[in-house]
Structures are given as structure tokens and as C-alpha cells.
Amino acid sequence: MNDSLELEVHDLEVQVLTGIYSEETHLPQPLRISLTVEIEAPERFAPDTPLSASKSYMDLKHAATAALPPGVHFTLIEGVADHIAETLFLQDRRVRRVKVKIVKLAISEGGERIGVTLVRNRP
């Protein structure tokens, strides 16, 4: 089976403890998180195909929000992205690839998008 399905959840705004500068280390800062998750796809999606043939979008949202450990300070937003990817791999063995894009909203001065994109493939 070579077919795949990409599930997407974009532009979640999440408060996360992250940063390296003293002004960033005490309070959560807003991050905009977007996810694209590739999973194995069945041969066909019929009208009555159950959700178990795909993956709930809420699982993606959970990995980028509630699954982030409260009170943990991530020095780099790359660590946030890595945690999200690992959570998704642990949730479902069908997950082949995770792409996490994070934009640091607090440092934007003119509407620019400053951040990272991490792409992880299942080990």
C-alpha cells in the first residue's frame, strides 16, 4: 500500500513557556502552530467508511495543545515541535510523517512570520 492521506490543522494559537531571553522565560508566549500529518490510507474511502480508517483531527489538535506538558519551559521552539511530532507518532502507528510549523507571534513587529518548520519521518 503506497497511498497516503495528509491531515491538516492550521493556525492554532497556543500559549507555551519558551524562549532563551530573561523576558521570555517567566511567562508563556503565544505561538501559532500548524500541523500536517501523513498517515497510511486505505485503498478506498467509501461513503460509509468509518473514522477508524482515517484519524481524528482532534488528535492533531490535542498533540499541539493539551499534550504539551504544563509548566515545562522549552528553551527552543524546535523542542515544542519535536514534542508534538513524538506525541503524534506515539498516538498512532499509521502516522508516517509529521510536519510542524511554529510561528512566534510575540516577536513580530510588522506582521512578518518568524519561526521554524520541523519535518519528522517515522523512525
Which of 68, 70, 77 lies closest to 102 in space, CA to CA?
A: 77
Q: What is the pLDDT of residues 35-94, one digit of tens each?
A: 999 999 888 999 999 998 999 999 999 999 999 999 899 999 999 999 999 999 999 999
Which of 74, 79, 56, 67 lies closest to 9 in space, CA to CA?
A: 56
Q: Which domain holds residue 68?
A: 4-121
The domain total for the chain is 1
Per-residue pLDDT, 85: 98
Question: Domain containing 95 — which CATH number?
Answer: 3.30.1130.10
Per-residue pLDDT, 22: 67
Per-residue pLDDT, 86: 97
Band the pLDDT of 119: cuts 50, 70, 90.
Answer: very high
> How much is the pTM?
0.92
The residue behind cell 498533540 is: 63
